[in-house]
């Protein structure tokens, strides 16, 4: 059985009610003790005064019979050792002794509270008993004042308990209303989020005014929805572009094969095979790039190792042949921590891009700036307009300039390069420097090895 309430509002209300009962209960107990102590102390003081007045009159022989009744609520008696009432005030002239407690010669004065009967008819009195002398036959003076009924029958405790319950109920009601009002915007956010689906990500949750936690939650939720909407839009655009890029070589391959099958005698078989292989190579390149992007995007753990960017660039350039002049500035010990094969792919994509669009010269430069290493690949081609310097890193992006993808490639090279840079906690940007395109990779330098 589930005992814990599912609602935060209900849980907070129960906690507030329990705390209120404890706090008000302790306060009520203190009030009860204070009232009893104050009332009993006042009654005892008056009772003692009456008892001493009677005892003094008895000792000096001036006590009249019956004893004068100065207060209507007090019982005054002079009792012999045998229990006979010798003298009393009018309310107790013919009554029995008010108490059976007999003070000893060693303790001549006793004050106490004595109760008789059962609830709710219980009767309690504050009694002062004074032994007139230490002689064996000395009489005892009793003065008894009744306690108020609310101190005898539990009425005070009942009223205090009702007050505690009423205050606890009030605290619970206030907590229920306040928490409900506080959580109202949260419920509105939850309801709105529940209605948002993948087909309509344009809706946003209501954002309350202010800077409290709920307003921050709403802003965070809306910011997350913004990113999600953009991510889904990019995913849909990417799927559309990928399907288009894959459809082109597939369509060409199918057309060539169907034509060769329908007219076997009119086609040059080696040319058909060569065309089919080119389309297959392009398909393979696109699929390989898509798989690489997917692997990089998963963020899985890959073993990193120290990689010298200068040595990496020198090795990559040594295995390539270029129709352009290649200028290098590669100092030693530009070491970063990364996945070597991914960094090789990044550099290869940058060199492919420069080779495709350079007019006559490609520049490759590495170096260190503070805690960062950089690697720049520049060409002297037509360059990239400032408005397109971020778009070129999007997947399957085409520029309506001389740098449009017309010389091969899958349209994913720079997108892959930037994903690899981000996976290595770095950046890949296009600098506005002179003519041509200057692509600069920045990665954190690897920490220096500990010296023995």
Domain boundaries, the chain: 8-157, 213-298, 305-444
What would the pLDDT profile of 175-221 be if each residue is shown by its tens digit? 999 988 888 888 888 888 888 776 777 788 887 787 777 888 888 88
Task: Provide CATH code, domain 8-157.
Answer: 3.30.450
Q: Which of 87, 119, 86, 85 is nearest to 99 (CA)?
A: 85
pLDDT band (50, 70, 90) for residue 314: very high
Using the predicted structure, report yes or no on whether residue 400 has a pLDDT greater than 60: no
The region that residue 96 occupies, defined by phi over 0 for left and psi between -120 and 50 for alpha, beta otherwise, is beta
Query: Which letter, b or e, does each residue of 230-255 get, where b requires 16 or more Cβ atoms within 10 Å of its Cβ?
Result: eeeeeeeebeebbeebeeebeeebee
* Mean pLDDT lowest among 26-30, 39-43, 200-204: 200-204
pLDDT band (50, 70, 90) for residue 3: low
* Mean pLDDT lowest among 175-179, 228-232, 393-397: 393-397
Using the predicted structure, report yes or no on whether residue 412 has a pLDDT greater than 90: no
What would the pLDDT profile of 243-294 be if each residue is shown by its tens digit? 766 776 788 778 878 877 787 766 677 777 787 787 787 778 777 777 776 6
Handedness of CA 399, 404, 409, 413 (dihedral sign): negative
pLDDT of residue 299: 58
Using the predicted structure, report yes or no on whether residue 403 has a pLDDT greater than 90: no
pLDDT of residue 142: 92
Q: Which helix (DSSP H) or strand (DSSP E) does residue 362 occupy? A: strand 361-369
pLDDT of residue 409: 60
Select from 3.40.50.1010, 1.10.3720.10, 3.30.565.10, 1.10.1530.10 the CATH code of 305-444.
3.30.565.10
pLDDT of residue 452: 46
Q: Which helix (DSSP H) or strand (DSSP E) does residue 60 occupy? A: helix 8-60
Q: Give me the phi and psi of 381, to 5 degrees please.
A: -80, -155
pLDDT of residue 442: 95
Residues 6 or more apart whose Cβ sits within 8 Å of residue 364? 313, 317, 326, 327, 328, 329, 330, 351, 375, 376, 377, 378
Q: Which helix (DSSP H) or strand (DSSP E) does residue 285 occupy? A: helix 269-298
Prior bond to 66 cis, omega within 30?
Answer: yes
* Mean pLDDT lowest among 105-109, 291-295, 328-332, 349-353: 291-295
Report strand pairing: 75-79 vs 140-146. Answer: antiparallel
What would the pLDDT profile of 123-163 be if each residue is shown by its tens digit? 888 999 999 888 888 999 999 999 888 888 888 899 999 99
What would the pLDDT profile of 298-311 be if each residue is shown by its tens digit? 555 667 899 999 99
Using the predicted structure, report yes or no on whether residue 112 has a pLDDT greater than 60: yes
What would the pLDDT profile of 43-60 be if each residue is shown by its tens digit? 999 989 888 998 888 888
Using the predicted structure, report yes or no on whether residue 13 has a pLDDT greater than 50: yes
pLDDT of residue 399: 64
Token pair recorded at residue 323: 């129709």
- The helix-helix angle for 413-423 and 269-298 (nearest 10°) equals 20
Token pair recorded at residue 377: 């690949």
DSSP code of residue 264: G
Neighbours of 375 (CB within 10 A): 26
pLDDT of residue 374: 95
Q: Give me the phi and psi of 82, to 5 degrees please.
A: -80, -5
The DSSP-derived string for 1-19 is ---S-S-HHHHHHHHHHHH
Task: Provide CATH code, domain 213-298.
Answer: 1.10.287.130
pLDDT band (50, 70, 90) for residue 166: very high
pLDDT band (50, 70, 90) for residue 227: confident
Give the rounded percent of residues in the chain with a pLDDT score beyond 90: 29
């Amino acid at each position: 059985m589930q005992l814990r309430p599912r609602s935060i509002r209900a849980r907070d209300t129960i906690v507030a009610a329990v705390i209120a009962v404890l706090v008000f209960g302790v306060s009520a107990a203190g009030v009860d003790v204070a009232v009893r102590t104050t009332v009993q102390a006042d009654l005892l003081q008056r009772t003692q005064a009456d008892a001493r007045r009677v005892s003094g009159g008895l000792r000096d022989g001036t006590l009249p019979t019956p004893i004068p009744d100065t207060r209507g609520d007090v019982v005054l008696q002079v009792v012999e050792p045998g229990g006979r009432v010798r003298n009393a005030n009018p309310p107790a002239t013919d009554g029995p002794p008010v108490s059976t407690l007999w003070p000893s010669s060693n303790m001549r004065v006793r004050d106490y509270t004595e109760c008789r009967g059962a609830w709710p008819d219980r009767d309690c009195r504050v009694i002062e008993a004074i032994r007139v002398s230490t002689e064996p036959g000395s009489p005892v003076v009793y003065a008894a004042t009744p306690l108020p009924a609310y101190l005898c029958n539990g009425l005070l405790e009942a009223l205090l308990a009702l007050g505690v319950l009423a205050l606890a109920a009030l605290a619970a009601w206030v907590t229920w209303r306040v928490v409900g009002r506080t959580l109202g915007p949260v419920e509105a956010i939850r309801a709105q989020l529940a209605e948002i689906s993948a087909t309509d990500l344009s809706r946003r949750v209501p954002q309350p005014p202010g800077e409290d936690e709920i307003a921050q939650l709403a802003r965070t939720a809306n910011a997350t929805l913004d990113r999600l909407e953009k991510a889904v839009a990019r995913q849909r655009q990417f799927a559309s572009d990928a399907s288009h890029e894959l459809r082109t070589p597939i369509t060409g391959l199918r057309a060539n094969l169907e034509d060769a099958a329908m007219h076997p005698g009119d086609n040059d078989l080696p040319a058909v095979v060569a065309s089919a292989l080119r389309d297959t190579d392009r398909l393979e390149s696109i699929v390989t790039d898509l798989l690489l992007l997917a692997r990089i995007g998963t963020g899985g753990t890959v073993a990193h190792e120290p990689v010298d960017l200068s040595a990496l660039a020198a090795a990559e350039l040594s295995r390539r042949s270029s129709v352009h002049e290649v200028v290098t500035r590669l100092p030693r010990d530009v070491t970063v921590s990364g996945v070597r094969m991914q960094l090789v792919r990044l550099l290869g994509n940058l060199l492919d891009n420069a080779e495709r669009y350079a007019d006559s010269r490609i520049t490759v430069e590495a170096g260190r700036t503070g805690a960062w290493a950089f690697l720049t690949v520049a060409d002297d081609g037509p360059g990239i307009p400032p408005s397109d310097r971020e778009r070129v890193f999007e997947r399957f992006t085409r520029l309506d300039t001389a740098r449009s993808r017309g010389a091969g490639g899958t349209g994913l090279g720079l997108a892959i390069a930037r994903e690899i840079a981000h996976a290595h906690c770095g950046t890949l940007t296009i600098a506005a420097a002179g003519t041509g395109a200057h692509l600069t990779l920045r990665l954190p330098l690897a920490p220096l090895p500990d010296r023995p």
